[in-house]
Homo-oligomer: A and B are copies of this chain.
Amino acid sequence: MPLELTASQALGLWHGVTLAQVRREDHDLTLRQTAILLQIYLVPPPHTVRGLAATLGVTKPVITRALDTMGEMGLVDRVRDDRDRRNVIIKRTVTGALYLEKLGDLVIEHGRKL
């Protein structure tokens, strides 16, 4: 079911959510980090470093570093693949799910204000 937005609504929504993000969070995620996180939680697994790099159109080290940072925050987890031990499978965490739930609430909340 398509969602029809006016230009004013679209930018207004983005404005409200972005502003709230800036005001709330102490440490904000990079645009790339946010994209990676959403990709992991919204697209069916399994997720690998290589796969994410290809999807985002960035190099592998970018993914590795982002996973390092977000891993320390507890937003994601890494596990070696037993079938092919070269691979690393990126796992979701409760903390990460909560983080995105908050983001979703923020979007919904500002959608209502339009």
Contacts and interface: CB of A to CB of B under 8 A. Distances in A.
B42 A2 contact: no
A48 to B, nearest CB: 17
A114 interface: yes
A29 to B, nearest CB: 8
Query: Interface residues of A toward B: which range?
Result: 35 or more
Contacts of A30: 28
Query: For the complex formed by this chain, how many copies does it contain in all?
Result: 2
A72 interface: no
A74 to B, nearest CB: 19
Nearest to A17: B14
B113 A10 contact: no
A5 B11 CA distance: 16
